[in-house]
Structure formats: C-alpha cells, structure tokens
C-alpha cells in the first residue's frame, strides 16, 4: 500500500477530502479521468471571461459553517441570481413573484390582487393530494403560470411530461408575493471571484494529482494502492452494473464566442416554450462584475437522457432508480474502506453547499 487514501475524482467532494486529509498528514493520491481538475464546477478563462464549462454554478446556502468554509478558498462577489423567462414573445421575471404576476395580469399591482388571481385559478384546478408535478405546480401557482412558465421547461429539462414527474421537483422554486427577483431564499449567495477552478487548485495544492486517469483502466491496481478509497464516480459503474444501470439526465452545451459586448443583458435566460429546443442560455460574463472583454460568451443548454459515454449530470431519483441505488448502497457496506461520496457516488441531487456538507460529514467520520 503506497498511499493512505486514493481519491477518485477532483470534483468539489473529492477535493475537500483531499485537502483536509492532507492537512492531517495523510499520504494521498487523487485521480481524475478528465483532463482538468474541478469536476462539474470547473471554470475556464476564455476571452477574459470565466466560463462555467458544465453549466451555470451559483453558490448559495443558508448554512453559515459551509459559507465560512468555502470562503477560506475564495472571495465571493455579490451576484444574486435573477433569471429571466422567455415564453414565445413574452418576457417574465423568475422566480414567481410580484414582477411575474403583474406582467402576466395587467390588473395586478398589489399582492392582494395576485393572491386573488391565483386563488381563482387554484379553485378551478385544485387537487387535494398532488401526485405529480402538474398537479403540484397548479396547486402552487395556478394554471396560467404552469402553462407558460413550467410545463414546457420542465418537459424539456426532464424529458417527461409534468404528469409523469414527482411533485417535489417544483417545490425547489420560491413563490413570493413581494417584488423580489432573487431566485434563492438562502442567506448567502455569490460567485467566487476568479472562478471556481481556483478554489480546487488551492485545495489540491501540494497533493499528487493524476489527470486523464480512469479508475476503471486499472481497477485491480487501484483497489490495492491505498488503505482507503474515496470514490466519487457513479456507484453502479464501480459494481459493474450488477443490479442494473442507474439513469441520469445529461446536458449538451453549445458554447459560442460572440463579437458583441452584451448579448442578453442577464446571466441566465430560461426558454419556457417547448418549441425552443434548448432550456436556457447562459451569458457567462454577467456572473462577474469586472470583465472588460468587448466580446461575450454564451452557452445554450440542451437537456436529454444520458447514454454511456455522456457525462452523467442529474440523478433521476424516481422509485425505480432509488431501488437500484439502495441495492448498491447495501452492497457497499460490505467494504467500509471504500467510501462512496458526492453527487454520483451517493446518487443524489446535491447542490454545492450540500456537497460541502456531505464531504465534511465524511471527514468527521474518518476522524472519529
């Protein structure tokens, strides 16, 4: 055994553990199959703009410990996510708030007007125990908002109609009767100045990292190279898909450099109409406030079902996949020296703050 720990994956989860275990004096090897560090939070500077190569990443949390932890590695700007939704030729603010309601209905100015409108719509369509996303969405915001801002976007995002999706997905979005376009309710929010990759560089500083190195190319060797393994890749692949393949959603990013200074005037624009094939357009420079580039970079996001060879992004946490995952999880208990962590290892939709929390939890267990 040459190392105390082999860490598979240089994403946020693996890098936090590498950093902390290194500080504890452990001998560590970190590998990643990609040609760069950072996993999905990787940002790359192009034309003076930090490009979020794997989709828009906005750090937001209500957990002070997590916020203080991540601020050790970067200073954050005061970016507040306020996406715009475009439906056909209509433009709305997100999340659903007084700005959205007053644009949708001319006679809505005060909160009581919006509440009345939505209540009227709810009365017509209300379902006691919503069993799917469509019923849940209509219960929350009424039919008009569902039809214009939720139905098409969600179907594109998940590749299923809202009738075939679980209700909880839509509960992530705030509904507010104030004129407040902040997409999140969290206490802390921002984008790291200089990009996310710098955070990971700091975490992995002084640690042996091998890129372009796939665990499965030499699985037998890697299983014996360290006393413990922290594995942040897909858990089903680790076990050779013996209980079946877990499903994911993936995204294709179509990124272009444009010879204009400002393309859409906002970092995130959602296209909620089903006919537009992409879900959203990200304009990366608007995540920062100090870019002087006279060009801009945009990424169109196309969401689709994952197939082997694609990057697995979103776990599909429905009943079928949860049952399969539980079998892998049970099996993993047989070898406590292999720790499965992160979005893919735990097959769970973790935002970055959840990922930090989970990594610190595992660290605590390793320390005890």
Q: Which residues are catalytic?
A: 172, 176, 249, 280, 301, 349, 351
Among residues 270, 296, 299, 321, the one that binds ligand UDP under rule CB under 6 A: 270
Residues 22-51 touching ligand FAD, rule: CB under 6 A, are: 31-34, 39-41
Q: Supply the minimum distance, in Å, between the C-beta of residue 288 and ligand UDP.
A: 20
For position 190 contacting ligand FAD by CB under 6 A, the verdict is no
For position 66 contacting ligand UDP by CB under 6 A, the verdict is no
For position 286 contacting ligand FAD by CB under 6 A, the verdict is no
Residues 74-93 touching ligand UDP, rule: CB under 6 A, are: 85
For position 142 contacting ligand FAD by CB under 6 A, the verdict is no
For position 79 contacting ligand FAD by CB under 6 A, the verdict is no
Closer to ligand FAD by Cβ: residue 93 or 355: 355
Residues 96-125 touching ligand FAD, rule: CB under 6 A, are: none
Token pair, residue 283, equals 């304009």
Among residues 154, 291, 299, 355, the one that binds ligand UDP under rule CB under 6 A: 154
Give the 3-state secondary structure of residue 136.
helix
- The partner residues of 5 in beta bridges, in order of sequence, read 28, 228
| Cis before 95? omega within 30 | yes
Residues 90-109 touching ligand UDP, rule: CB under 6 A, are: 94
For position 338 contacting ligand UDP by CB under 6 A, the verdict is no
Q: Supply the minimum distance, in Å, between the C-beta of residue 137 and ligand UDP.
A: 7
Q: What are the DSSP E strand ranges found in the chain?
A: 3-8, 28-31, 43-46, 49-52, 59-61, 84-87, 90-93, 188-190, 208-210, 226-231, 248-258, 268-271, 280-283, 296-305, 314-315, 338-340
* Contact status, residue 19 vs residue 11, Cβ threshold 8 Å: no
- For the chain, how long is the longest CA-to-CA vector? 72
Return the residue matching tokens 């998940």.
158
For position 246 contacting ligand FAD by CB under 6 A, the verdict is no
Among residues 153, 184, 196, 328, the one that binds ligand UDP under rule CB under 6 A: 153
Closer to ligand UDP by Cβ: residue 26 or 148: 148
Distance between CA atoms of 319 and 247, rounded to whole angstroms? Answer: 11
* Contact status, residue 149 vs residue 272, Cβ threshold 8 Å: yes
Judged by CB under 6 A, which stretch of 150-158, 167-175, 240-248, 352-360 contacts ligand FAD?
352-360
The CA angle 199-203-209, to the nearest 5 degrees, is: 115
Distance of CA 101 to the CA centre of its chain: 27
The count of chain residues that interact with ligand UDP, using the rule CB under 6 A, is 13
Among residues 56, 193, 348, 366, the one that binds ligand FAD under rule CB under 6 A: 56
Give the 3-state secondary structure of residue 226.
strand
Closer to ligand FAD by Cβ: residue 87 or 215: 215
Distance between CA atoms of 30 and 336, rounded to whole angstroms? Answer: 19
Handedness of CA 131, 132, 138, 139 (dihedral sign): positive
Q: Are strands 43-46 and 28-31 parallel, antiparallel or unpaired?
A: unpaired
Binding mask 297-336 for ligand FAD (x = CB under 6 A): ----------------x-----------------------
Closer to ligand FAD by Cβ: residue 55 or 130: 55
Token pair, residue 83, equals 């996406």
Closer to ligand UDP by Cβ: residue 132 or 213: 132
DSSP string, 44-70: EEETTEEEETTS---EEES-HHHHHHH
DSSP string, 79-102: -----EEEETTEEEESSBSHHHHH
Taking alpha carbons only, the member of 115, 154, 149 closest to residue 132 is 154
Chain residues in the site for ligand FAD (CB under 6 A): 8-14, 31-34, 39-41, 54-59, 214-216, 232-233, 251, 313, 342-344, 350-353, 355
Chain residues in the site for ligand UDP (CB under 6 A): 85, 94, 149-150, 153-154, 157, 169-170, 172-173, 270, 272
């Amino acid at each position: 055994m040459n190392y105390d720990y082999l860490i598979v994956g240089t994403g946020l989860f693996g890098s936090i553990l590498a950093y902390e275990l290194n500080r504890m004096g452990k001998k560590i090897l970190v590998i990643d199959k990609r040609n760069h560090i950072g996993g999905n939070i990787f940002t790359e500077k192009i034309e003076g703009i930090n490009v979020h190569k794997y989709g828009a990443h906005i750090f937001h949390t209500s957990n002070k410990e997590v916020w203080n932890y991540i601020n050790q590695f970067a200073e954050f700007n005061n970016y507040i996510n306020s996406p715009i939704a475009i439906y056909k030729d209509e433009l709305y603010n997100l999340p659903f708030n007084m700005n959205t309601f007053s644009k949708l209905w001319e006679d809505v100015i005060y909160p009581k007007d919006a509440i009345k409108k939505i209540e009227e719509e709810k009365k017509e369509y209300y379902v006691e125990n919503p069993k799917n996303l469509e019923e849940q969405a209509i219960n929350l915001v009424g039919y008009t908002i569902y039809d214009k801002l939720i139905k098409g976007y969600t179907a594109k995002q998940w590749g299923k109609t809202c009738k075939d999706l679980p209700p909880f997905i839509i509960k992530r979005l705030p509904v507010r009767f104030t004129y407040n376009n902040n997409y999140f309710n969290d206490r802390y929010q921002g984008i790291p100045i200089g990009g996310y990759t710098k955070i990971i560089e700091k975490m992995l500083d002084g640690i042996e990292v091998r890129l372009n190195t796939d665990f499965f190319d030499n699985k037998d060797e890697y299983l014996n190279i360290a006393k413990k393994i922290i594995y942040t890749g897909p858990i089903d692949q680790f076990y050779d898909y013996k209980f079946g393949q877990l499903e994911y959603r993936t995204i294709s990013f179509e990124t272009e450099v444009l010879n204009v200074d400002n393309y859409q005037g906002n970092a995130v624009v959602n296209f909620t109409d089903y006919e537009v094939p992409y879900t959203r357009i990200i304009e990366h420079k608007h995540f920062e406030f100090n870019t002087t580039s006279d060009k801009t970079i945009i990424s169109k996001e196309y969401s689709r079902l994952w197939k082997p060879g694609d990057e697995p992004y979103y776990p599909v946490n429905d009943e079928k996949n949860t049952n399969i995952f539980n079998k892998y999880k049970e099996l993993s208990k047989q070898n406590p020296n292999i720790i499965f962590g992160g979005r893919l290892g735990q097959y769970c939709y973790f935002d970055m703050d959840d990922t930090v929390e989970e990594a610190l939890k595992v660290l605590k267990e390793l320390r005890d």
